[in-house]
Amino acid sequence: MSLLKQIFTWWNGQTIGTRFHTWRFGKKVGEDQFGNVYYQGGGTDSEGRTRRWVIYKGYAEASAIPAGWHGWMHHRTDVSPADEDYKPREWQKEHRPNPTGTAQAYRPPGSLAAPGERPRVTGDYDAWTPRG
């Protein structure tokens, strides 16, 4: 990654400040199947817990963190998925990144972005008018 990109963009991987903090204080905890790398160290947060952070592979997108790592990042568990044989529960779906702004985004019936024609108005709605 170019130096200018690291200096001026926060959404692309890591910034210079994050790189310095990681180099100085970070202890690598593990990596997920998407290439995101997880760290901890460098003091405590406002609740006295060890700081934890992720360096995303590519764009910084919070929905790119799988369920097991999400629980660890938010201190719901002290054991990272890298330190245990984490297996998703049978009811958990495979991770999907947030589709907002893409062709896979949800477009409800009647939305201007939805394909096809909008349904006709049924007449069950009366517009509000102020009393004069």
Q: Could you report the per-residue pLDDT of 74-129, keeping only the tens digit for each?
A: 999 888 888 887 777 888 877 777 888 888 888 887 788 777 777 777 777 778 88
Structure-model confidence comparison of residues 7 and 105, the more confident one: 105
In a domain, 125, yes or no: no
Q: What is the pLDDT of residue 79?
A: 86
Q: What is the dihedral of CA 88, 67, 81, 60, to 10 degrees?
A: 150
Domain-located, residue 67 = yes
* 99 lies in some domain: yes
With helix as H, strand as E and coil as C, how does 62-83 read?
HHHCCHHHHHHHCCCCCCCCCC
Domain-located, residue 100:
yes
Helix (H, G, I), strand (E, B) or coil at 17: helix
Q: Is residue 128 part of a domain?
A: no
Number of folded domains that form the chain: 1
User: Range of 47's domain?
Assistant: 1-115
